[in-house]
Structure 1
Amino acid sequence: MNYKWDCSCYFRFGIATKTNISLEHEILLHPRYFGPNLLNTVKQKLFTEVEGTCTGKYGFVIAVTTIDNIGAGVIQPGRGFVLYPVKYKAIVFRPFKGEVVDAVVTQVNKVGLFTEIGPMSCFISRHSIPSEMEFDPNSNPPCYKTVDEDIVIQQDDEIRLKIVGTRVDKNDIFAIGSLMDDYLGLVS
């Protein structure tokens, strides 16, 4: 699955999650693109193919920062296509266990909170929400709140959470979070 995100939201995350690393990618180009704008086409195709994707090893590729080298193209026998090896640097987002990040609540139900940390989904079980906060199914929208309603967490609220675990797939990363620590919860 390919995603596009607003990069401005990533600068709220912890320092450890964003890194500028060197990566490699191969661009397969159709012969119709051969001509005076060949290099610009290769660059544009690189941005389109890698920005917004996720690799299990490096995380989410947020933005390509520099293109270091576009190698000599290799003609694909019998097809006419050319394969260009490209070396580039990109900002990647890879969360780590124990990291504290800001997230947006996307869904609230009796089992817990579903949130998004930029492109990544994160679930917070009701067992990882402080005991003084109770689920209120009768409120509209549903929420977790304290008895005195001093703190109310509902859909679209921004919260600060601690990542307690991650599951890394080939093309996605999913996190489990907790609000059971000092300075975590609703960001006001």
Structure 2
Amino acid sequence: MFVLAEFKDTIRVKPHAFSKPKVEAIEYEINAKYANKAFHDIGFCICVHDLVEIGDGIVQHSEGSVFYKVKFRMIVFRPFPGEIIVGKIKASAPDGIWVSVGFFDDIFIAKELLPSPREFEESEQVWVWKYQGADLFLDVGERVRLQVQRLEFKEVRPDAAPGPDGGETLVEAPAEVPFKIFGDMKSPGTGPLAWWAQSE
């Protein structure tokens, strides 16, 4: 589920951080730049694991900041296809459900990969598994076990929109996410944890 990924970057430490130990100041700036962000073909960065190499600091005389060339490793969330993970249902829609693991929300399970026979209750906006005459609801907030099917990375770039001066300004494209996980809840042992607890 978690892997280490190595990066190289030039990290800027501003003068107000000079009172901190150098390593602490550099790690803070790396986390500010990389943590809680998805990177193409890498995954979702959690935090710095360690600093592998720190180059000599170069002072920017115009502002007083110090720039370091740093090689470092980040803890990255990147589950592999076939892995079983546990999360909570965040939202339901006619095309499937979204699951969150707390720090990452972009896990999608298409309706075809939910337990069957199934039905989407429009009034409640919830999926229901029709199991042996009983209605088992996939409620928002329910803890579920799912199997990872595949990972999807996309290059998400801001869109251009007309600016107030007649030029263009950049706005975010809300429909796309850079990293998405597709899961399956039809496989044996997957689904809401409460269902399996009751059957044991």
Under TM normalisation by the shorter chain, which class is it?
A: 0.7 to 0.9
**How do residues 12-161 of structure 1 correspond to structure 2 at under 5 angstroms?**
17-31=1-15, 33-34=17-18, 36-37=19-20, 39=22, 40-76=24-60, 81-117=65-101, 118-139=103-124, 142-147=126-131, 148-149=133-134, 151-161=136-146
Relative distance call for 1:176 and 1:33 in structure 2 (3 A) is closer
Relative distance call for 1:83 and 1:182 in structure 2 (3 A) is same
Larger radius of gyration: 2
Match of 1:180 in 2: 186
Relative distance call for 1:33 and 1:64 in structure 2 (3 A) is closer
Matched residue SS, 1:151:
strand
Tell me the TM-score normalized by structure 2: 0.70
Q: Displacement, 1:142? A: 2.7
Q: Displacement, 1:173? A: 0.9
Instruction: Give the distance between the partners of 2:86 and 2:20, measured in 1 at CA.
Output: 42
Instruction: Give the distance between the partners of 1:42 and 1:182, measured in 2 at CA.
Output: 46
CA-to-aligned-CA distance 1:109-137 (integer Å, 9 cap, x gap) = 22211222441412222211122232223
CA RMSD of aligned residues (A): 2.6
Relative distance call for 1:22 and 1:110 in structure 2 (3 A) is closer
Structure 1 portions without partners, runs of 5+: 1-16
* 1:62–1:91 contact (8 Å) kept in structure 2: yes
Relative distance call for 1:170 and 1:26 in structure 2 (3 A) is farther
Relative distance call for 1:138 and 1:30 in structure 2 (3 A) is closer
Q: Displacement, 1:151? A: 2.9
- Higher relative contact order, structure no. (Cα contacts within 8 Å, ≥ 6 residues apart): 1
Matched residue SS, 2:189:
coil
Equivalent residue pairs, number: 170
Give the fraction of aligned pairs with identical amino acids, expressed as a percent.
21
Structure 2 portions without partners, runs of 5+: 157-177, 195-200
CA-to-aligned-CA distance 1:53-100 (integer Å, 9 cap, x gap) = 221132111121222332112345866543211222322111333322
Q: Displacement, 1:184? A: 1.1
Q: Displacement, 1:183? A: 0.8
Instruction: Give the distance between the partners of 2:4 and 2:85, measured in 1 at CA.
Output: 19
Relative distance call for 1:21 and 1:167 in structure 2 (3 A) is closer
* 1:19–1:92 contact (8 Å) kept in structure 2: yes
Matched residue SS, 1:119:
coil
